[in-house]
Structure 1
Amino acid sequence: MQYFYNSRLGETRFTMSDGGLLCKDVPIGRTGVQLYGGEELDDIEPDSDGEILVERSEADVFRPETLASFEGMTFTVSHPIEDVTPDNWGRYAVGHVQNVRRGTGDQSDLMIADIVVKKAEAISAILDDGVDQISAGYDAEYQQTAVGKARQHDIIANHVALVPTGRAGKRCSIGDSKRMTTNNTWLAKLRRAIKTKDAAAMEEAMESVPTELTNDEGTGELPKAINITINPQQPLPKQEPELDAIATNDSGDIETRVAAMETTLAAILEKLGSTTDSDPDEEEEGRRITSDAAYHQDVVSRAELIVPGIKLPEGGKLASFKRTVLDAAFKTTEGEKLLKGIVGDKPDFAKMPKLSLDAAFIAASEIAKGRNNIQLNHRTTDSASPNRRPTAADLNKQNAAFWAKKGN
């Protein structure tokens, strides 16, 4: 496909005649295995870690209908909380995707497209802020293949999003900048790469080890490349010997590399010790990945606040449980008062998108917690104040007793 442009920013990035940004040859999806949380796929049984390995085959990713469905789809900044439709397109669209095809050579496992970006904020996010990863939004069917494993098929596109961190990793990205990664996020990425046996993600993780884990003062942010690329154009400074050995291992034996990665991860975890990060959101992400029990208990505790006495059925899925809790609460007078301001007059919890569901569930539990605290404080104040001000009923009772005595 040919394009007209005013200026060339690199091998694959161009300024168009109207000031828009053209990003050519951008990977927007890939085959292989990706990691999902059990709460994301209600109908699939997760493994003992509460996670699901989802595989996408070449036949599914490059199915003619799937490739065609991405043609002309909306480009957004982050994923909207709802599907993009003609009714809300103007709210979310910053550009579009075109010329969708399968990659060739070492990119034959990638779905490639050209992205035309029209909105100034999105162009600035790419060129100035270094936001560069891509995540596709789509509908798909999932088939359980084993406990904690599933196949994704019948993929139909809805939009393509620009995100700070995508599930597909750095291979599906615009640009080549290496931003610093805090410990918990980096460990989560490395753990995901090991579990999915994703060689490219392993390489990326080992090339971006946080400096506090390596004591390597020379490892900083690489200069931003002007053109769209897939692999770094210059190697990172050498890490500690065991890290460098893995990063430069060209044996191609994935099983051997996975075993080496696990050994390295154990050494890094030992070195990490009590180091903490200051970003509470990233700390929560790390805790949620490494401690499903804590997340499970949090959901159960919040449910109890919203609907006292409700219990999670044995083997029940957390996402379904949240829907049940909110639906049960809304059917009560108190619950309806609690939820109306959050979800409106006629919510459909069964069809509510996961992000909206999570937000409503947390908001409702926090409001319920505050309400309970107010009631508790009121009771405590009353019980601690025997000389409280008498009510009208108290005065009437006292007056009746007084005049009754007078009459005798």
Structure 2
Amino acid sequence: MRTVDKTIGKLKDVFTISKEGNTRERLADGSLLCRDVPFARTGTMLYDQSEFAGSPDTNGDPITSPDGVIIVHRDDETLFSEPTITSFESAPVTVGHPPDFLNPDNRAAYDQGTIRNIRRGDGALSDYLLADVIVKGREGLDAIEKKGIREVSPGYDADYEPIEGMPGHYKQSTITGNHLAIVERGRGGRGVRIGDEQKEPDVAFRKKTWGARLLNAITTNDADGIEEAIREGADEMPERVKPTIANTSDEQVATVEQDDQKRHTEVLDAIHDLGNKVTALVDVLTPKTTDDEQTEQDRTDEAVGAARADQRKDDLKAVEETEDEAECLTEEGKRVPTGDAAFSAVRLNTIQVAEIIAPGMRHGTVDTSASRKEQRSAVKNIRVAALESALRGPHASVVRRYVGAQPVRNMTADAVFVAFRAAGDAIANTNRSSVMPQSAYIPSHSHTHSNPAAEMNARNRAFWGRNK
């Protein structure tokens, strides 16, 4: 049993019982302490316009872009300001972004831990905001240790100031942190992640040379990485070009080709020899494992591989279900969106209907670089949050008609979609009739004897039955 060494920049008030890696430690209650986690960076980030759902910029105008892509610029002054750093201190950890910002009413449903010791990194991490992350919940621990989900994404409020002369470009300011989500893919890139050890983060859009990758693989004892770098180095050898000078004789051409081939063979032999030496060096430096340890590692690798295969299946299912919803929402005769467009259309419609069902409900920004499963789950969570909020408001009886007696959170995604649409239409009709003069509304014979809610349910049942 021991406590953490009191090193500058580290948490000094956390009791741990074992090390799980260079930057991870186990707490006495089974929680996991992950040190030095980069979770936000300066620079530019890309957003789909639908993620802002018409939110206003600092001038009060909708945040828009000519091509639908919003480019957000974040500088040192904003990210490393004292208010920004303080706002993230003790923020909760979640698995995926929740549908609404965390507050006392919903925190228990999503809270998986907390982040502490927020500060600016130094050296290679000087462009990043770091935190020490304590993961306490079982869902969060399994996401990191069993499923291999390591990237993180902060949830926050911010102001967006349009940049003059650059349509679609905005400067971010006044960041207020709310939570930190463990995600498959975060917008900040693979540098923004939980690691076993502190490494230099990958720089976006800069491809490392095979030599740099080889050096990094040697440094980290990554045998597979060494072999891959060597193969890439061989592939990147310059293509040999035959001499094309008109007065070059056949004998001269043959001699040049032979010399060129000889040099190429010598280089490849040297690379192969280097690879053998490096592999032998890695074997010497790599700690030997017992049969039991190797069996446990094999089981872990197999579990991670199976989890990733399941994730791919879940992503394909999420795409199919979202495109079905997009088709249901598209007016007859218009083109049905697919892929990214389908997710954008469904999310935008969800936000619009949520505003009808639960006016003023705040929702987080969905990360379009997240997995399809996470994006679809985020949309469902917005719908669930809106319906649950409405059940506590003046339209509770209307919403209860479509969700029944069961908890909304226990309903399937399809059932939530149907209830969400039907409740939205019903509340919209109620709102319209409440502001319409009585004399202006003359019900027809068909309205008198029909049940709009029943008709809506019948149409939805027909649609989902056809798509099964």
TM-score, with normalisation over the residues of structure 1?
0.54
Tell me if 1:304 matches 2:331.
yes
Amino acid of the structure 2 residue aligned with 1:150: Y
Deviation at 1:127, TM superposition (A): 2.0
Deviations 1:160-189 (A, max 9, x none): 111111111110111269xxxxxxxxxxxx
Amino acid of the structure 1 residue aligned with 2:135: V
Instruction: Name the counterpart of 1:33.
Output: 44
Deviation at 1:38, TM superposition (A): 1.0
Show the 5 A alignment for 1:119-268.
119-145=137-163, 146-175=166-195, 200-202=203-205, 237-238=228-229, 240=232
Instruction: Name the counterpart of 1:281.
Output: 315
Amino acid of the structure 2 residue aligned with 1:137: G
Instruction: Name the counterpart of 2:35.
Output: 24
Deviation at 1:302, TM superposition (A): 1.4
Change (3 A) 1:105 1:283: farther
Instruction: Name the counterpart of 1:46.
Output: 65
8 Å Cα contact 1:81/1:356 also seen in 2:
yes
Change (3 A) 1:97 1:351: closer
Tell me if 1:15 matches 2:26.
yes
Instruction: Name the counterpart of 1:4.
Output: 15
8 Å Cα contact 2:37/2:195 also seen in 1:
no
Q: How far, CA to CA, are the matches of 2:202 and 2:460 in structure 1?
A: 51
Instruction: Name the counterpart of 2:90.
Output: 72
Deviation at 1:284, TM superposition (A): 7.9
Amino acid of the structure 2 residue aligned with 1:46: S
Change (3 A) 1:59 1:232: farther
Amino acid of the structure 1 residue aligned with 2:84: T
Instruction: Name the counterpart of 1:99.
Output: 117
8 Å Cα contact 1:45/1:144 also seen in 2:
no
TM-score, with normalisation over the residues of structure 2?
0.48
8 Å Cα contact 2:35/2:131 also seen in 1:
yes
Aligned length: 271
Deviations 1:200-232 (A, max 9, x none): 13357999xxxxxxxxxxxxxx9xx9xxxxx99
Deviation at 1:374, TM superposition (A): 7.3
Q: Considering only aligned residues, what root-mean-square deviation do their CA atoms show, in Å?
A: 4.6
Deviation at 1:5, TM superposition (A): 1.6
- Identical aligned pairs, as a percentage? 29
Change (3 A) 1:278 1:242: farther
Deviation at 1:124, TM superposition (A): 2.7
Q: How far, CA to CA, are the matches of 1:4 and 1:280 in structure 2?
A: 38
Instruction: Return the structure number with greater helix share.
Output: 2
Partner SS state of residue 201, structure 1: coil
Deviations 1:134-157 (A, max 9, x none): 110111111222212111111000
Partner SS state of residue 23, structure 1: strand
Amino acid of the structure 2 residue aligned with 1:117: V
8 Å Cα contact 2:33/2:134 also seen in 1:
yes
8 Å Cα contact 2:363/2:382 also seen in 1:
no
Partner SS state of residue 173, structure 1: coil
Q: How far, CA to CA, are the matches of 1:324 and 1:11 in structure 2?
A: 43
Deviations 1:333-354 (A, max 9, x none): xxxxxxxxxxxxx532775667
Deviation at 1:7, TM superposition (A): 0.8
- Long gaps (5+) in structure 2: 1-10, 55-61, 211-216, 238-310, 335-343, 366-377, 384-412, 423-454, 464-468
Change (3 A) 1:107 1:70: same
Q: How far, CA to CA, are the matches of 1:122 and 1:77 in structure 2?
A: 6
Instruction: Name the counterpart of 2:349.
Output: 322
Deviations 1:39-84 (A, max 9, x none): 1122222242x21111110111001100011111111111111111
Instruction: Name the counterpart of 2:77.
Output: 59
8 Å Cα contact 1:303/1:322 also seen in 2:
no
- Long gaps (5+) in structure 1: 178-197, 208-221, 226-230, 246-276, 289-294, 310-316, 331-345, 377-408
Q: How far, CA to CA, are the matches of 2:196 and 2:128 in structure 1?
A: 17
